[in-house]
Amino acid sequence: QKEVEQNSGPLSVPEGAIASLNCTYSDRGSQSFFWYRQYSGKSPELIMFIYSNGDKEDGRFTAQLNKASQYVSLLIRDSQPSDSATYLCAVNLLAGSARQLTFGSGTQLTVLP
């Protein structure tokens, strides 16, 4: 059983729309949650992290965490073609230990002009 699940997509949205990327995790004790973006042929880069239930906003990006439902999402408002990439969800069982970071397999997003 995968510990971190993402819909592999591809997810297509028109330019200017809201893209919603979802991630579920199996370990109820998980403490910290991360979204990385990976452009084709490039390495992942961190977009956002969230530790507490609720929403966290950073520009056009909003991370949402619901620990009771074991669910974390990333919303991208006013999607741009430059947002087209694979988005990786990562979950850590222990906030202070990078050893426990587990990645999902990623969701491929395409923003259509």
Partner 1 sequence: DVKVTQSSRYLVKRTGEKVFLECVQDMDHENMFWYRQDPGLGLRLIYFSYDVKMKEKGDIPEGYSVSREKKERFSLILESASTNQTSMYLCASSSNFAGANVLTFGAGSRLTVL
34 binds partner 1 (CB under 8 A): yes
Window contacting partner 1 (CB under 8 A); options: 13-21, 38-46, 66-74, 75-83: 38-46
Q: How many residues bind partner 1 (CB under 8 A)?
A: 24
Strand partners, 13: 111
Separation of CA 79 from chain center: 15
**Which of 3/17 has CB closer to partner 1?**
3
| Structural contact between residues 64 and 82, judged by C-beta atoms closer than 8 angstroms | no
Q: Assess 52 for contact with partner 1 (CB under 8 A).
A: no
Burial of 2-37, coded b for 16+ CB within 10 Å and e otherwise, reads: eebbbeeeebebeeeeebebbbbbeeeebebbbbbb
Q: Is 104 in the site for partner 1 (CB under 8 A)?
A: yes
Phi, psi at 81, each rounded to 5°: -55, -30
**19 or 91, CB closer to partner 1?**
91
Binding site for partner 1 (CB under 8 A): 4, 8, 32, 34, 36, 42-46, 49, 88, 90, 92, 95-99, 101, 103-106
